[in-house]
Amino acid sequence: MNQRERKKRTVKAETVAKTVPTAKEIKTEKIVSAVKEKKAVKPDTQGIFDNRMARKIDELRWLYMELYGNDSMFFELCDQLHRFYEERSSTLKALDQKREADPGWYKKNDMLGMMFYIDNFAGNMKGVESKLDYLEKNNVNYIHLMPFLDTPKGRSDGGYAVADFRKVQENLGTMDDLEALAGACHKKGISLCMDFVMNHTSEDHEWAKKARQGDGEYMSRYFFYDNSYIPSLYEKTVPQVFPTTAPGNFTWLPEIGHYVMTTFYPYQWDLNYGNPRVFNEMMYNFLFLANKGIDVIRIDAVPYIWKELNTPCRNLPQVHTIVRMMRLISEIVCPGVILLGEVVMEPEKVVPYFGTVEKPECHMLYNVTTMATTWHTVATRDVRLLKKQLDIVNGLPKDYVFLNYLRCHDDIGWGLDYDFLKNFSIDEVSHKKFLNDFFTGKYPDTFGRGELYNDDPRLGDARLCGTTASLCGIEKYGFEGNVVGVDRSVRYDITLHAFMLSQSGIPVIYSGDEIGQVNDYSYKDDPDKAVDSRYLHRGEFNWSLAPNRNIADTVQGKLFHALDHLEHIRSSHSVFDTTADLRTIDTWDSSILAIVRENAEEKFIGIYNFSDQDKVAWINEDDGIYTDLISGHEMEAKGVMIPAFGCFWLCRKK
């Protein structure tokens, strides 16, 4: 839904709320008082719930009715919201209140995340708990535990095929372990993020099993068709997510003679959010997990959750209705919990998921285009597209908080602004090939050691896998024993992290990057993983190399020390707060990017050289003496000499 339509809907909702006092108000009142009456047990916190409910219920009901027109299901939902509130621990309730009083709690300049698979990092949940000290040494106060809910082995999509939303994978622990881990994290001021995979369930989920047996109630929770006609209509307008590893959007189930919609892998069945039972139950799952102590809910693959014939089934208006309802629900039951939307798409499709400032949807979104554009810049050594991308992001309201990253568990999709690149005679298909050739080491003189993912020769649309260190050359030069090469690659790796840490938003480090972990090729020996090259950068954390972080002249030592230094600078200077103003400035060199951050106290200039040559950044910020926060040297912000792949963080007090 575009901003205009949304505004229209908002206005419509408000107008109705004001001008139709009859049926709706009476109903709303009835619901609030019925919920109150039923549960007037804990007078101390009951009032808080009632207040929140009273403030939000009009809009929630409006949206629910717009989508489902089902009063009794809405009543059930409200009743359950109260139940989950009642069940929420007093510690979490206290945290909710603290965060309600400080709504910018997650936007501060000391927020730093790290993401990892539990088994790769520490074996299991208890292992993670025992490694919290290590995470603290990384200055991390937000950890994203990659999917850990029950999932069938070999048909898991890295855990994104959930068989039971209320059960932890046995090898990783139990719900009690999760609760204990969350408690231990909270004591240390660490927030916990988890994936909420709401677009689909595993085919092993209880609902899917019943649906497969032909139970109509459960079939209606998915998209079932007894012949290929409707599926073939969908296929006309719905693009494919995994064209090579899982072509098509439907899977034929011979045992019941039906097709089922499977946008991702055939074992991930798309949920039908047109059915209010699905929405309600998934909200209960969400609240169940929130009550275990989760602070950040990552809504997986959110653009896909509503399906409609003759559309691409992406970003439909109803998706926004659902996300807004989720936001309202969390604000009623667990306002300390924030929503992180996973929208891996171009900026104009991402930004609407923030909602409007008055009616917000997600609290945070991935800055996916900046991430992909950064790697494009590494390959092209040309910062013009990156500068333009940053200008777009910096022009958005400050309430919009992006989550910045260099690498994550997924591939890098080359979703770049090809219209802009046309100005330089760069065409999409050949450019994607160039980028992939560059990072897979095919292109002469390149240092990247990545692998392709879902190579679709028809569209020339392969994506890329690999760790930051491997894409920066640490793997190649290390293998070749080229000490100078390794050194330069480490410098580049640090520069890219410095750039990421100075962007607007919250930075998240991919576990292993802090010690320059390279690709793990062992996935090729595991038949369950071999078809999915994303496992290349999902290797086990190398605890035998980790101690080298304390040895200054090792790759691990250099990276760890440098990131630690940058992170401390970031958290101790208010200019890194998400509230600071940001802009890019010209450097008169197409390989050098310069960004300015500014608040009432400080002015910061980050300068990043994406070329393999030492250069001069022809900036001319003639307003005083700056200190390079990294080296501690004082200098002017004029004609700055900058080494190949190097960076400066200039800053001056006002």
CB of 159 to ligand GLC, least distance (A): 8
CA 372 to chain centre: 14
Q: Which of residues 307-346 bind ligand GLC (CB under 6 A)?
A: 342
C-alpha separations of 389 from 423, 427, 439, 652 in Å: 15, 18, 21, 26
Nearest to 476 by CA among 523, 511, 443: 443
Q: Which is nearer to ligand GLC, 409 or 529 (CB)?
A: 409
The owner of tokens 């559309």 is 311
Q: Which is nearer to ligand GLC, 200 or 292 (CB)?
A: 200
176 is a catalytic site residue:
no
Helix, strand counts (H, E) of the chain: 23, 23
Q: Which of residues 123-162 bind ligand GLC (CB under 6 A)?
A: 157-158, 160
Q: Which is nearer to ligand GLC, 259 or 453 (CB)?
A: 453
Q: Which is nearer to ligand GLC, 200 or 432 (CB)?
A: 200
Q: Which of residues 32-91 bind ligand GLC (CB under 6 A)?
A: none
What DSSP string runs through 403-424? EEES--SSPBP----HHHHHTT
* Identified catalytic residue from 295, 342, 451, 589: 342
Q: How deeply is 432 buried, as exposed, middle or buried, from its count of CB atoms within 10 A (0-12, 13-18, 19+)?
A: buried
C-beta of residue 113 within 8 angstroms of C-beta of residue 193: yes
CB of 353 to ligand GLC, least distance (A): 14
CB of 221 to ligand GLC, least distance (A): 17
Work out which of 150, 177, 300, 628 binds ligand GLC, going by CB under 6 A: 300
User: Between helices 276-290 and 43-68, what is the axis angle to 10°?
Assistant: 150
Q: Which is nearer to ligand GLC, 160 or 223 (CB)?
A: 160
Q: Which is nearer to ligand GLC, 193 or 421 (CB)?
A: 193
Q: Which long-range contacts (C-beta less than 8 Å, at least 24 apart) are formed by 393-399? A: 393/347, 393/367, 393/503, 393/504, 394/504, 394/582, 394/583, 394/584, 396/351, 397/357, 398/578, 398/579, 399/354, 399/357, 399/360
Work out which of 117, 121, 264, 306 binds ligand GLC, going by CB under 6 A: 264
- Total of chain residues touching ligand GLC, rule CB under 6 A: 10
Q: Which is nearer to ligand GLC, 77 or 149 (CB)?
A: 149
CB of 612 to ligand GLC, least distance (A): 33
CB of 409 to ligand GLC, least distance (A): 6
CB of 269 to ligand GLC, least distance (A): 12
Task: Determine the 3-state secondary structure of 619 from DSSP.
Answer: strand
Question: Cβ of 476: how many Cβ atoms within 10 Å?
Answer: 20
List of E strands, 549-633 = 581-585, 592-598, 602-609, 615-628
* Identified catalytic residue from 150, 157, 300, 577: 300
C-alpha separations of 194 from 105, 184, 338 in Å: 18, 16, 11
C-beta of residue 175 within 8 angstroms of C-beta of residue 167: yes
CB of 579 to ligand GLC, least distance (A): 29
CB of 152 to ligand GLC, least distance (A): 14
CB of 195 to ligand GLC, least distance (A): 8
Contacts with 637 (C-beta within 8 Å, 6 or more apart), sequence order: 605, 619, 620, 621, 622, 623, 626, 650
Closest-approach residue to ligand GLC (CB): 160
Contact letters for ligand GLC, residues 384-413 (x by CB under 6 A): -------------------------xx---
CB of 340 to ligand GLC, least distance (A): 12
Query: 379: which 2 tokens?
Result: 């390959």
300 is a catalytic site residue:
yes
Nearest to 414 by CA among 475, 344, 341: 344
Query: 466: which 2 tokens?
Result: 């690999």
Q: What are phi and psi of 45, to 5 degrees?
A: -105, -10
CB of 300 to ligand GLC, least distance (A): 5
User: Between helices 368-380 and 384-394, what is the axis angle to 10°?
Assistant: 160
Q: What are phi and psi of 12, to 5 degrees?
A: -60, -45
Q: Which is nearer to ligand GLC, 160 or 499 (CB)?
A: 160
**Dihedral (Cα; 88, 89, 95, 97), 10-degree rounding:** 60
Q: Which is nearer to ligand GLC, 106 or 160 (CB)?
A: 160
Task: Determine the 3-state secondary structure of 150 from DSSP.
Answer: strand
C-beta of residue 444 within 8 angstroms of C-beta of residue 434: no
Contact letters for ligand GLC, residues 181-220 (x by CB under 6 A): ----------------x-----------------------
CA triple 284-289-290, angle to 5 deg: 95
The shares of helix, strand and coil residues in the chain, as percent rounded to the nearest 5, are 45, 20, 35
CB of 344 to ligand GLC, least distance (A): 6
Q: Which is nearer to ligand GLC, 214 or 312 (CB)?
A: 312
Q: Which is nearer to ligand GLC, 301 or 619 (CB)?
A: 301
Q: Which is nearer to ligand GLC, 179 or 346 (CB)?
A: 346
Q: How deeply is 404 buried, as exposed, middle or buried, from its count of CB atoms within 10 A (0-12, 13-18, 19+)?
A: buried
Nearest to 266 by CA among 250, 278, 280: 250
**Contact footprint for ligand GLC (CB under 6 A):** 157-158, 160, 197, 264, 300-301, 342, 409-410
Catalytic residues: 300, 342
